[in-house]
Amino acid sequence: MGARVRRKPRSISITSGKGGTGKTTLSANLGIALATLGKRVTILDADLAMANLALIMGIHQIRTSFLDVLKGKAKVEDAIHENYGVRVIPTGFRFEEVQETLSGVDHARVRRVVEEILGDTDFLLIDAPAGIQDATLFSIASAREMLPVCNPTYTSLVDVYKVIRFANVMGAWTRGLVVNRAGKRAEVPADEIEDFLKRTLERMGVIAQIPEDPKVQEAELEGVPVVVYDPDCSASAAIHELAEVIVGKAEPSYLRETKAVKETTDRLVRVLTGRT
């Protein structure tokens, strides 16, 4: 047998400033698109208030959560639910209550669990709750990168701007903004969004525009991710293009650091336990 390839895991918190942007649907479809590029993808569902990621991924029975694993009640593989080549792990706890929830849990065990998950994945996507709330902030703090999502409306744009500013304070790397449900009927045109980003965030711009596409709703009604339901529709094409941008040549600078894997692990462990 050949030597096992050492992975350089990337942790990305997918966030939005308000609910209803299609963030969870994007998380699921982006995960599948990354998997089609040969990447090992794990999605940690941290959005308990709107915990529908598993349903979008066609997973209907969940008996074991991430919390069960951290508490030593189950193995990591028991909490992994796989479909469409993507692994989904439900958290089973609210991130704002995480330290109370995990009080008394063995710190060394939490680190081993996190290392085991990261050691077998290229991308850990964290589907964060929407808005500026404790759970969202914890999700951002636990990831090395953030992928903000908004709709082309003034309120959505302003709300996601606040999340981006917080991520900058937390040291999370943000390549650019994803505008979901873009189109001719958008309240805020694409050039106006770009102008807003240049004025407020300088170097950051829009990295993807996912168009308003009736196929997305059709896919949801069928209980199938749109990139599977209709791989050639406009929304699927845009999501695949986004996946290619994320895995492209312009990798985050931290991947070239010798301590990149350790810091990725440390961030998650610190959020989960309150300790380093």
In a domain? residue 30: yes
The CATH number of residue 15's host domain is 3.40.50.300
Whether 75 has a pLDDT exceeding 50, the answer reads yes
In a domain? residue 270: no
In a domain? residue 1: no
Q: Please report which confidence band the pLDDT of residue 276 belongs to, taking 50, 70 and 90 as the band edges.
A: low
Q: Residue 221: which domain range?
A: 10-262
In a domain? residue 271: no
Whether 43 has a pLDDT exceeding 90, the answer reads yes
Neighbouring residues of 23: CB distance < 8 A, sequence distance ≥ 6: 14, 15, 16, 47, 127, 128, 130, 149, 180
Number of CB atoms found within 10 A of residue 117's CB: 23
Identify the residue with better confidence: 110 or 254: 110
In a domain? residue 220: yes
Return phi, psi of residue 125, to 5°: -95, 130
Burial (CB count within 10 angstroms: exposed 0-12, middle 13-18, buried 19+), residue 185: exposed
pLDDT, average across residues 160-184: 91
Q: Which of 77-86, 145-154, 161-170, 229-238 has the lowest mean pLDDT?
A: 161-170
Whether 4 has a pLDDT exceeding 60, the answer reads no
Neighbouring residues of 217: CB distance < 8 A, sequence distance ≥ 6: none
**What's the chain's average pLDDT?**
88
Q: Please report which confidence band the pLDDT of residue 226 belongs to, taking 50, 70 and 90 as the band edges.
A: very high
Token pair in block for residue 257: 């650091």
In a domain? residue 230: yes
Whether 151 has a pLDDT exceeding 90, the answer reads yes
Q: Please report which confidence band the pLDDT of residue 2 belongs to, taking 50, 70 and 90 as the band edges.
A: very low
The number of domains in the chain is 1
In a domain? residue 3: no
Whether 162 has a pLDDT exceeding 70, the answer reads yes
